[in-house]
A and B are shown apart, each in its own frame.
Chain A
């Protein structure tokens, strides 16, 4: 699935912003600053950070399924092949090297 105007495509390596933003944030703390790759583009959705405070959620933001090696997220994780997948909005992602 592709969304015209999506900044990233499947396979792109991305890093989650390491940021402490106020408000209703749906990017979990444990994944901030971590690097993974785009698995799927889910499409455009209303922005929860706006909806949470009574806003209309516009403009819609692109939502991605981002995959991470478990070993890259936690200090200790024993099984190399396991993955962690999180639904993350475009404005929380930056290109990774």
Chain B
């Protein structure tokens, strides 16, 4: 029997709840907005995104931050639906990284 790594209700070992709140970064607000826009346009359904997150490798799921998980699952669903390819995204990112540079 396989319990999904996201299916964590009641699992032992949870600690105190960190009540601090971080101010959202630009990239998080953007991830949120793109995700919602894709939903509004019917390009992806909420349950598809959830399913992709659930299929994520367990280590990745637990190590990524909340919006990193969203970006990763958004990318996976867009590739699955043949809207984008991994290669395209890598190449576009490489273009940007040249402009962003390093200090």
| SS class, residues of chain B in contact with chain A | loop
Checking A24, A31, A73, A74 against B54 with a beta-carbon cut-off of 8 angstroms, the contacting residue is: A24
Q: Which residues of B contact A29 (CB under 8 A)?
A: 3-4, 7, 9-10
Docked Cα-Cα span, A74 to B12, in Å, equals 11
Docked Cα-Cα span, A51 to B48, in Å, equals 6
Q: Which residues of B contact A57 (CB under 8 A)?
A: 47
Q: Which residues of A contact B4 (CB under 8 A)?
A: 25, 29
Q: A20-B1, A29-B3 are in contact. Are A54 and B48 (CB under 8 A)?
A: yes
- Closest B residue to A51 by beta carbon equals B47
Q: A28-B7, A29-B9 are in contact. Are A20 and B50 (CB under 8 A)?
A: no
Q: A30-B9, A30-B10 are in contact. Are A24 and B2 (CB under 8 A)?
A: no
| SS class, residues of chain A in contact with chain B | loop
The answer, yes or no, to whether A5 is at the interface (CB within 8 Å) is no
Q: A20-B1, A24-B54 are in contact. Are A52 and B7 (CB under 8 A)?
A: no
Q: A20-B1, A20-B2 are in contact. Are A53 and B51 (CB under 8 A)?
A: yes
Docked Cα-Cα span, A31 to B3, in Å, equals 12
Q: Which residues of A contact B62 (CB under 8 A)?
A: none
A-B residue pairs in contact (CB < 8 Å), sample of 24:
A20-B1, A20-B2, A23-B51, A24-B47, A24-B50, A25-B4, A28-B7, A29-B4, A29-B7, A29-B10, A30-B9, A48-B47, A48-B50, A51-B46, A51-B48, A52-B47, A52-B48, A52-B50, A53-B51, A54-B45, A54-B48, A54-B81, A57-B47, A74-B10
